[in-house]
Amino acid sequence: MRKPLVAGNWKMNNPTESPRTLLQNILHSAHMLDSILSSSENALPIDIALFPPSVYLREAQEVLSGSRLQWGTQNVSAYDEGPYTGEISASMIKGFGCHYVLIGHSERRCLYEKLELDQYVLDQIVAEKYAQAINNDLTPIICIGETEDDYESGKTEEVIARLLDILIAHKGPKALANVVLAYEPVWAIGSGKSATPEWAQSVHSFMRQRIAKHDQASSESVRIIYGGSVKAHNAAAIFCQADVDGGLIGGASLDAEEFIQICFGATQSYTCQPGYVNVPPW
Ligand X SMILES: O=C(CO)COP(=O)(O)O
Residues at the site binding ligand X, with contacts judged by CB under 6 A: 9, 105, 184, 189-190, 227-230, 248-252
Annotated active-site residue in 59, 107, 146, 184:
184
The nearest distance, CB 189 to ligand X, in angstroms, is 4
Residue nearest to ligand X (CB): 250
190 labeled part of a ligand binding site? yes
Q: Which residues contact 130 (CB under 8 A, 6 or more apart)?
A: 103, 140, 142, 167, 170, 171, 179
> Closer to ligand X at the Cβ: 9 or 267?
9
The nearest distance, CB 195 to ligand X, in angstroms, is 11
Interaxial angle between packed helices 119-135 and 106-113, expressed in degrees from 0 to 180 and rounded to the nearest 10: 130
229 labeled part of a ligand binding site? yes
Distance, in Å, from the CA atom of 45 to the CA atom of 68, rounded to the nearest integer, reads 11
214 is catalytic: no
The nearest distance, CB 173 to ligand X, in angstroms, is 25
The nearest distance, CB 85 to ligand X, in angstroms, is 25
Distance, in Å, from the CA atom of 158 to the CA atom of 154, rounded to the nearest integer, reads 9
Longest dimension (CA), the chain: 54
250 labeled part of a ligand binding site? yes
> Closer to ligand X at the Cβ: 173 or 250?
250
17 is catalytic: no
Annotated active-site residue in 59, 105, 204, 258:
105
11 labeled part of a ligand binding site? yes
> Closer to ligand X at the Cβ: 172 or 190?
190
The nearest distance, CB 129 to ligand X, in angstroms, is 16
> Residue 36 CB: number of other CB atoms within 10 A?
15
Residue 38 backbone phi and psi in degrees, to 5: -65, -20
> Closer to ligand X at the Cβ: 1 or 111?
111
246 labeled part of a ligand binding site? no
Could you tell me the sign of the dihedral formed by the alpha carbons of 245, 276, 32, 22, in that order? positive
Picking from 101, 96, 91, 29, the residue whose alpha carbon sits closest to that of residue 59 is 96
Picking from 118, 117, 133, the residue whose alpha carbon sits closest to that of residue 78 is 133
Picking from 109, 108, 18, 103, the residue whose alpha carbon sits closest to that of residue 56 is 18
First to last CA, the chain: 27
> Closer to ligand X at the Cβ: 173 or 228?
228
Distance, in Å, from the CA atom of 65 to the CA atom of 96, rounded to the nearest integer, reads 10
Q: Which residues are annotated as a binding site for substrate?
A: 9-11, 190, 229, 250-251
Give catalytic residue positions: 105, 184
